[in-house]
Amino acid sequence: MPASTSSMRPHRRGVTVTQVNMQVERLIGSDSLLSDVAVEGEVSNCKYNQSGHIYFTLKDRQSAISCVMFAGKRSLGLRFPMKDGDQVVVGGYVGVYAAAGRYQLYADSIELSGIGSLYQRFEELKRKLMAEGLFDSAHKKPLPSHAMRIGIVTAPTGAAVHDIIRVSRQRNPYVDLVLFPAVVQGDAAAASISRGIVTLDAMGLDVIIIGRGGGSIEDLWAFNEESVARAVFAARTPIVTAVGHETDVTIADFVADRRAATPSQAAELVTFVYDDFRNSIVRFSDRLERAMEHRLALAKKSLTDYKARLSAMRPDKRLQAKIDRLTTLSQQLNTMMLIKLERFHSRLLAAAGRLEGLSPAKRLAGGFGFLTTADGKTVTSVNQLAVHDALSIRLRDGSVETTITKIDYNTLNQQLK
């Protein structure tokens, strides 16, 4: 009779459950990918243990993995109240919990993913700067009522700069606009914006506008950087922010002296209407002239009254003396009024001349240009330049890119060098 299949099977030596789990633990521990991994997913079954540990599940559409963050890791690794439904990135390592025979993710750090992470950084910086007093109204500088030199920190192209120029020119054709062409998006944006604020602040302008057009929170993020906020706070020149649309609020808005909902509104806030200013001067001149005429009429009436009273008294010598005195006073009064009217007229002419002389169009039409280096720095001295440097020259009707072939220093400059 043939032997059964079971009787022919060789006998296997058994291993313990612990040995199996330890072997699995060694295999997982030797995997470099699992020893330092960042896993993104949605939080579920989040439980805060009395011991301080956090147990939760991280899942996506197809799978799930058990996770734990021990109490000792929470102080540095978790900076927000995690809850079910949060989309997070968990950093740590995958290991085996031998007692239960399962593997799990041991978390060292947990951060909100995507936009959630940006909002977390926004709130953290907002709390920090608020605690330092950078948002306090006591630090807000008033905007000048008749600003004539206005700085702009924004991209040299795009709707924002065009809106500011258009509105400013409509309100006051004589206003002097100074543009710092900044990078307003990307990794280099915060440093570029901060440099623009410092550069224009050193020029002694009346007010500075910083901003850009609308975009996502990522597009506008440069205006949420700490370096930009501190540059705004340190500036001596009043600063108006105009970042994005009306609903967009950045850290720079909290620090600035004034926030505008749009770039166009920023131009309206800082630029006075020239026609209204001119009309107010005319009205003031008319009031002054009427007041002088009224005073002159009163003086003439008093003179007539004095003459009548003296004539009635008929003391010839005293009368003549009084008449002479009054005649002299009348002449002096007329002379004083004429001098005052002439001085006021001269002041009006001088003010009109200064306004005309500040016209950027007239300066550019006269052959002047605005020079910047290849990296956007304003050129004020030949000592900043070297042969073969690239220059950008902004003229009345356009701009020119050129390269230096020769530099001539004047006598004083050569002595200083």
Token pair in block for residue 370: 């605005």
Which candidate, 281, 297, 275, 299, places its Cα nearest to that of 345?
281
From the number of C-beta atoms within 10 Å of its C-beta (0-12, 13-18, 19+), residue 382 rates as middle
Number of residues that this document lists for the chain: 417
CA pair distance 227, 194, nearest whole angstrom: 7
Give 355-399 as a 3 state SS string.
HHHCCHHHHHHCCCCEEEECCCCECCCHHHCCCCCEEEEEECCEE
Q: Are 270 and 207 in contact (CB under 8 A)?
A: yes
Give the angle 233-239-243 at the CA atoms, nearest 5°.
100
Distances (CA, A) of 55 to 76, 82, 89, 106, 172: 17, 11, 15, 10, 64
CA pair distance 298, 295, nearest whole angstrom: 5
In order along its 417 residues, the chain shows pLDDT tens digits of: 455 555 556 666 777 777 777 777 777 767 777 888 889 888 999 999 999 999 999 998 889 999 999 999 988 889 888 888 888 889 999 988 877 778 899 999 998 876 666 777 888 899 999 999 999 999 999 999 999 999 999 999 888 999 999 999 999 999 999 999 999 998 999 999 999 999 999 999 999 999 998 887 788 899 999 999 999 999 999 999 999 887 788 999 999 999 999 999 999 999 998 888 788 777 877 788 888 888 888 888 888 888 777 666 666 666 677 788 888 888 888 888 888 878 877 787 777 677 666 655 566 666 677 788 888 888 888 888 888 888 888 887 888 888 888 888 775 555 555
CA atoms within 13 A on the CB side of 91: 12
- Predicted structure pTM score: 0.49
Token pair in block for residue 412: 């004083």
Sheet containing strand 390-395, strands side by side: 370-373, 390-395, 398-403
Strand-strand pairing, 176-181 and 87-97: unpaired
Distances (CA, A) of 76 to 80, 84, 111, 407: 11, 21, 11, 57
CA pair distance 316, 312, nearest whole angstrom: 11
Other C-beta atoms closer than 10 Å to the C-beta of 52 total 13
CA pair distance 364, 375, nearest whole angstrom: 22
Cα distance between the two ends of the chain: 116
Three-state DSSP state, 285 = helix
Three-state DSSP state, 48 = strand
